[in-house]
């Protein structure tokens, strides 16, 4: 196939994939996956009744999902109103169980939100400014990192760093600062796994901090986990044995300032843990699928978030190891360790003063 026709086919295929994600948005927002997971197979009329939706719309949604293999149908030859549809057990963790680390039902919401800001993004690309802040409504704030942090941060990732794990288990109890903590699940996860430590989470988003404070109350950890609205470049009081910056440094307009602040807060023997995207060591084209994925979010979100400040580092999502080393050196760190483990999406760095 020549390159012209290959590109036509690629765009057509990607358009179908985008539409599938919008159909997943509908399923997530309308509770269709949850209803199939909780109450089992259903006809279109039964699923519509369970979810308070219109049968004709739901019939089309079910047929689309069956055509794409997202749900199973018992008898394709049956009359449309008599077909029964099942959400396969293997798909429940991905589409219906928000507590599972494999949950990806939120991807439709992410893509819908990204599409809404495209007109503003077009103008931002012209002016060099940041686009206006987008409200979280009507979907509400996504907490897609919750199961990952609760199941892996304190149970797998931190124990894999012996010096950090040892300090978090030792006396006197360690103090941890969690920069750009969002709705607080990273801070809560660390406190759950290390019952002696205290964690102070900070974020610029007041709504996120309010949610984080509520989560700390709900989990019974508000005596050891506190949250406040603050810039990562503002020094917190006291000394900390660990400062974490989890999937956030590349979004910051002043990453060196944030790292310099983190360094100034460290107690003797303390270090900074940075989790960021798993990217190639250098620019590559054509790039692997994961690199293309990160570039997509950099175009739509990560780079725009850091624009608007004339002094912004404008890092974008593709913060390569050499870039982080340069930032860390400028912030006064003597060592930048690329830790000898990673996930499918993230790389880990430990910065030593």
pLDDT in tens, 165-184: 999 999 999 999 999 999 99
Residue 217 sits in the same domain as residue 338: yes
pLDDT tens-digit series, residues 128-164: 999 998 888 888 877 889 999 999 999 999 999 999 9
**CA–CA separation, 74 and 42 (whole Å):** 10
Q: What is the DSSP string of 47-114?
A: HHHHHT--HHHHHHHHHHHHHTTSSEES-TTS-TTT--EE--GGGHHHHT-TTSTT--THHHHHHHHH
Same domain for 79 and 171, yes or no, is no
> pLDDT-derived band of residue 341, with 50, 70 and 90 as boundaries?
confident
Model confidence at 74, pLDDT cuts 50, 70, 90, reads: very high
Please check the confidence at residue 234 and state whether its pLDDT lies above 80: no
Nearest alpha carbon to residue 170 among 197, 144, 134? 197
320 in the same domain as 205: yes
What is the pLDDT at residue 332?
98
- What is the CATH classification number for the domain harbouring 154? 3.40.50.150
Instruction: Please report whether residue 134 resides in a domain.
Output: no
Q: Is residue 100 in a domain?
A: no
pTM of the model: 0.93
CA distances 180 to 55, 75, 135, 353, Å, are 43, 50, 18, 21
Instruction: Identify whether residues 162 and 235 lie together within a single domain.
Output: yes
Domain boundary residue among 94, 110, 130? 94
Instruction: Report if residue 169 sits inside a domain.
Output: yes
In this structure, the answer to whether residues 181 and 41 fall within a common structural domain is no
Q: For position 308, what pLDDT does the model report?
A: 86
Domains in the chain, number: 2
Please check the confidence at residue 284 and state whether its pLDDT lies above 80. yes
Residues 53 and 172 in one domain: no
Domain check: are 88 and 168 in the same one? no
pLDDT at 52 (0 to 100):
98
Residue 214 lies in a domain: yes
Length of the chain: 353
90 domain-assigned = yes
In a domain, 107, yes or no: no
Q: Do 203 and 320 have their domain in common?
A: yes
88 lies in the same domain as 152 = no
- Average pLDDT over the chain, rounded to an integer: 96
Domain harbouring 22, CATH code: 1.10.10.10
CA neighbours within 13 Å on the CB side: how many for 76? 8
User: Does 304 reside within a domain?
Assistant: no
Range of the domain at 10: 3-94
Same domain, yes or no, for 347 and 216?
yes
Residues 180-223 have pLDDT tens digits of 999 999 999 999 999 999 999 999 999 999 999 999 999 999 99
User: Cα(65)–Cα(79) distance, rounded to whole angstroms?
Assistant: 17
Cα 250 from chain centroid (whole Å): 13
Q: Which residue among 69, 94, 119 closes a domain? A: 94
Residues 190 and 281 in one domain: yes
Instruction: Tell whether 241 is covered by a domain.
Output: yes
Query: Is there a single domain that holds both residue 85 and residue 151?
Result: no
């Amino acid at each position: 196939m020549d390159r012209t026709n290959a590109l036509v086919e690629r765009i057509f295929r990607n358009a179908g994939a985008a539409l599938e994600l919008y159909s997943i948005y509908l399923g997530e927002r309308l509770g269709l996956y949850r209803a199939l997971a909780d109450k089992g197979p259903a006809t279109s009329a039964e699923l519509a009744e369970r979810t308070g939706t219109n049968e004709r719309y739901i019939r089309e949604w079910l047929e689309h999902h069956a055509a794409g293999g997202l749900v199973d149908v018992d008898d394709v030859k049956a009359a449309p109103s008599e077909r029964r549809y099942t959400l396969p057990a293997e798909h429940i963790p991905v589409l219906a169980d928000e507590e599972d680390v494999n949950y990806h039902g939120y991807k439709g919401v992410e893509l819908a939100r990204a599409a809404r800001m495209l007109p503003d993004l077009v103008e931002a690309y012209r002016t060099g400014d940041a686009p206006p802040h987008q409200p979280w409504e009507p979907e509400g704030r996504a907490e897609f990192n919750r199961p990952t942090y609760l199941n892996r941060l304190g149970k797998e990732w931190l124990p894999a760093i012996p010096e950090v794990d040892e300090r978090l288990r030792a006396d006197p109890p360690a103090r941890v600062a969690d920069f750009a903590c969002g709705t607080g699940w990273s801070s809560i996860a660390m406190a759950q796994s290390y019952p002696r430590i205290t964690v102070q989470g900070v974020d610029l988003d007041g709504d996120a901090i309010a949610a984080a404070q509520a989560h700390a109350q709900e989990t019974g950890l508000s005596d050891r986990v506190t949250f406040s609205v603050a810039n990562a470049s503002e020094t917190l009081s006291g000394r900390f044995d660990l400062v974490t910056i989890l999937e956030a440094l590349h979004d910051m307009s002043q990453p060196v300032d944030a790292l310099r602040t983190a360094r100034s807060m460290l107690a003797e023997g303390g270090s900074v843990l940075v989790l960021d995207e798993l990217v190639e060591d250098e620019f590559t084209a054509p790039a692997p699928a994961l690199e293309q994925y990160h570039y997509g979010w950099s175009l739509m979100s990560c780079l725009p978030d850091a624009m608007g400040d004339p002094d912004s580092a404008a890092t974008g999502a593709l913060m390569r190891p050499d870039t982080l080393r340069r930032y860390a050196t400028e912030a006064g760190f003597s060592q930048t360790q690329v830790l000898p483990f990673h996930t499918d999406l993230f790389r880990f760095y430990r910065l030593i003063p």
